[in-house]
Chain A
């Protein structure tokens, strides 16, 4: 046991002497979390999406088109849309270069057609390279279209009156007879106000997780969601780097020299596995510390999380112990380990929320440590003991260790 601890201590000191690779593997999850967090974090002010660049072409230049343009001047709309009024040729040229998300074209005679209660068509030209923002502009336009149709139909007499006024010379307008007309319009306006202010019918939105469980998703929540996935992915990278000593020492001749000492093969194998486990735990704790300090990530009950981290590190050490016992040389280990870790991470949900994945990907993900760690971390965050994740990670870890120990012992034979 004393010899095992000596080898372990020596390994830890050796890795801490040239820690650049480990530092980089520690930095990657932090950088990735920061990048994703900056891009996808819910905003406390303003909309979650950047302003949508919209080009507006007014071929009508009438009352209705002016009203339509005015609707973009409301504060909420100003935050959502960045509108540039242009002509059709210039707008078309800019759209062909992808310089806006959408271009809205108001046709000629738009006002006159509306006032005459005729059907008219607004055109929205969408940027083909964008996938979300043009659709938002289109949906907004659809809603505006309904509202404009509604206004014209709610005030048909007034619309006809305005239509007559547009063409008539000032001298021909019977100003003295407009009084009663305006009075009727006023009555309608008062009646409409009862329906529209406040709105007789409105929407109250809620975002839900499960029946009755409301969620308000914050930037901190996003970081808390991302970090476990990143942490397990780079924990695997770090542990495989440490476990690669098994094969490096054999190729470098260090193992041959070590075996001339009273050190028993089992002690050496034990030291390597425990070393991978301990270093994995240490790295995970550093990630947790950084995640808490930099991103204010929530981990839940620390004891539960520590148990989960210990299980995941043990699994990683056992897996890479077996892996390095099976590969032929250092090159093969280097070439295969990164693809394996990346495949685990892709299927296991480190790179993407498993809920968003196709079913087949999710099914494969169950066979990865990433999935069990991420699921377990989510439970811990919600205050639940991750019994199932622990059971799977420890159980499969023990099987892997049982296979790894004899295989690694054989590797120590010179």
Chain B
């Protein structure tokens, strides 16, 4: 019992020193918040906006079919902006040539030029494109239905297109009921990334400095053994990760209405993940003698793990090979577990494998770190 108290005392002291450092707030709050806002707004934009996708139309048609075709494109989600000439600024643009009507009436095939700005919203472009294909399908169906008649008289009277097949969308049962916000995606990713960065950099550097300055040696004059010093350092870094996650989750809940699904299970995932990162930080801190080296390694590892693990972009858009390779990243297992909890209302059974992998990683890294842990250089 006394032993545990001593370990907890040292770990708590490490945490206290860290929280007292002004830079701590940059790493745990300011910088992650910037990331959360940036990525949250980006995800939000791709989820919902633009609610109405704009399509610029250059209508040079000299007949009546141009206006009729545009009527077929119009929908609550697509706004048409008809102009006489191609403007310098647009996101999406379609050109109806002067002989648009003439070609249809002569039953001559034609392809309309549809231009998309590469830097405009991909989702809005896809929405407009789909709408264009649907409009073409509607017009062609009506022409087929009209038969062999004179197409110049088509617009004087013809059978109207009816949407006989309709499409209804929903989410799977026992999952979410409302569309997750951009922040529901960005906060877990940012939290995982910054636990890696902060615990490895801050935790690693302080282990190295304590060793170099002889703090670790002096601690041996207390009733602490080398093993207990190691455990205390590991525990202190674990606390750092937990504090970081708690701060971001609380801020997320208050300011961004973050929904984690099961809060206790989310915290359990974070706890096991932080333990693995704490072990990695002690290992790197024991191995390296230079601060820059620790920063470099931390930035390298955290970025690779975050990129592969789905902290920056949705893993669905990643090629299958990279998705398989992502399994080497601890961030992948943590993010996957948080997704199961948030988006699929998962329970302990659903994240058991994730927890097992992260716990195994924590044990392996902990064992390696304990072997490399040095009191003095």
Q: How far is the CA of A339 from the CA of B21 in the complex (A)?
A: 14
Looking at the assembled complex, report how far the CB atom of B168 sits from the nearest CB atom of chain A, in whole angstroms: 5
Q: Provide the B133-168 mask, 1 if CB < 8 A to any CB of A, else 0.
A: 110111111011101100000000001011111111
CB within 8 Å for A339 and B23 given contacts A121-B168, A153-B145, A211-B88: yes
Bound CA–CA A28/B86 (angstroms) = 44
Shortest C-beta distance, B359 to chain A (Å), equals 22
What distance in Å separates the Cβ of B34 from its nearest Cβ neighbour in chain A? 6
Segment at the A interface, from B216-224, B235-243, B307-315: B307-315
Of the residues B110, B118, B318, contact of A217 by C-beta under 8 Å: B118
Query: What chain B residues lie within 8 Å of A27 (beta carbons)?
Result: 300
SS class of chain B's interface: helix, strand, loop or mixed? helix
In angstroms, Cα B145 to Cα A192, docked, is 8
A129 touches B300 (CB 8 A): no
Q: How far is the CA of A241 from the CA of B291 in the complex (A)?
A: 10
Asked whether any CB of chain A lies closer than 8 Å to the CB of B10, the reply is: no
Contacts of A361 in B (CB 8 A): 38
Determine if B226 is an interface residue (Cβ-Cβ < 8 Å): no
- Chain A residue numbers with a CB within 8 Å of B185 are 131
Considering only CB atoms, which chain B residue lies closest to A191 in the complex?
A: B148
A101 to B163, CA, bound (A): 26
With contacts A98-B340, A346-B38 known, is A202 near B141, CB below 8 A?
no
Q: A114-B164, A123-B170, A203-B114 are in contact. Are A358 and B126 (CB under 8 A)?
A: no
Q: Say yes or no: is B372 at the interface (Cβ < 8 Å to chain A).
A: no
> Is B317 among interface residues, defined by CB-CB distance under 8 A?
yes
- Given A21-B292, A154-B145, A200-B104, the answer on whether A148 and B116 have CB atoms closer than 8 Å is no
Alpha-carbon separation in the docked complex, A210 to B87 (Å): 10
B4 to chain A, nearest CB (A): 31
Residue B371 is within 8 A (CB to CB) of chain A in the complex: no
A149 at the interface (CB under 8 A from B): yes
How far, in angstroms, from A156 to B145 measured CA to CA in the complex?
9
* Contact residues in B for A381 (Cβ distance below 8 Å): none
Q: Give the CA-CA distance A206 to B120 in the complex, in Å.
A: 13
Which residue of A has the minimal Cβ distance to B121? A356
Task: Sort chain A's interface into a size bin.
Answer: 35 or more
Alpha-carbon distance between A39 and B320 when the two chains are bound, in angstroms: 10
As a 0/1 sequence over residues 102 to 122 of chain B, the CB contacts with chain A under 8 angstroms (1 = contact) are 001001111111111111000
- List residues of chain B with CB within 8 A of the CB of A146: 133-134, 137-138, 141, 163, 165
A211: chain B residues within 8 A (beta carbon): 86-88
Say yes or no: B136 contacts A202, CB within 8 Å: yes
Q: Quick one: which of A136, A202, A330 contacts B111, CB cutoff 8 A?
A: A202
A-B contact count (CB 8 A): 296
Chain A residue with the shortest CB-CB distance to B346:
A97
Given contacts A39-B313, A132-B46, contact A149 B110 (CB under 8 A): no
The reply to whether B114 and A205 contact each other, CB–CB distance below 8 Å, is yes
Q: Which residues of B are found within 8 Å of A196, using beta-carbon distances? A: 140, 144
CB contacts (< 8 Å) of B316 on chain A: these are: 50, 101, 127, 130-133
Does A153 lie within 8 Å of B159, measured CB to CB?
A: yes
Contact B296 A28 (CB under 8 A): yes
Does residue A108 face the partner (Cβ distance < 8 Å to B)?
Answer: no
Q: Does B20 contact A (CB under 8 A)?
A: no
With A196-B140, A205-B116: A145-B167 Cβ-Cβ less than 8 Å: yes
A92 and B173 within 8 A (CB): yes
Q: Which of B110, B132, B139, B174 contacts A96 (CB 8 A)?
A: B174
In the complex the two chains form, is B141's CB within 8 Å of A149's CB?
A: yes
For the complex, what is the distance from the CA of A331 to the CA of B117, rounded to whole Å? 48
A331 to B141, CA, bound (A): 73
- Please give, as numbers and ranges, the residues of chain B lying within 8 Å of A118 by CB-CB distance: 164
Q: Knowing A27-B300, A207-B118 touch, does A125 contact B164 (C-beta < 8 A)? A: no
Let me know if A114 and B114 touch, CB within 8 A: no
B175 within 8 A of partner (CB): yes
Q: Does B344 touch A at the CB level, under 8 Å?
A: yes
Q: Give the residues in chain B near A96, CB-CB below 8 Å.
A: 172-175, 344
Contact B114 A206 (CB under 8 A): yes
- A residues lining the B interface (CB < 8 Å): 18, 20-21, 24-25, 27-28, 31-32, 35-36, 38-39, 49-51, 92, 95-98, 101, 103, 113-114, 117-133, 135-136, 138-154, 156, 188, 191-192, 194-196, 198-211, 215, 217, 237, 241, 244, 330-331, 334-336, 338-339, 342-343, 346, 352-353, 355-358, 361
30 residue pairs from A and B, CB less than 8 Å apart = A31-B304, A39-B313, A50-B318, A96-B174, A119-B163, A120-B166, A122-B165, A122-B167, A122-B168, A124-B170, A125-B169, A125-B170, A128-B171, A129-B344, A132-B317, A139-B127, A142-B167, A149-B163, A150-B140, A153-B141, A188-B144, A200-B110, A201-B104, A209-B118, A211-B86, A237-B295, A335-B21, A343-B31, A346-B31, A357-B38
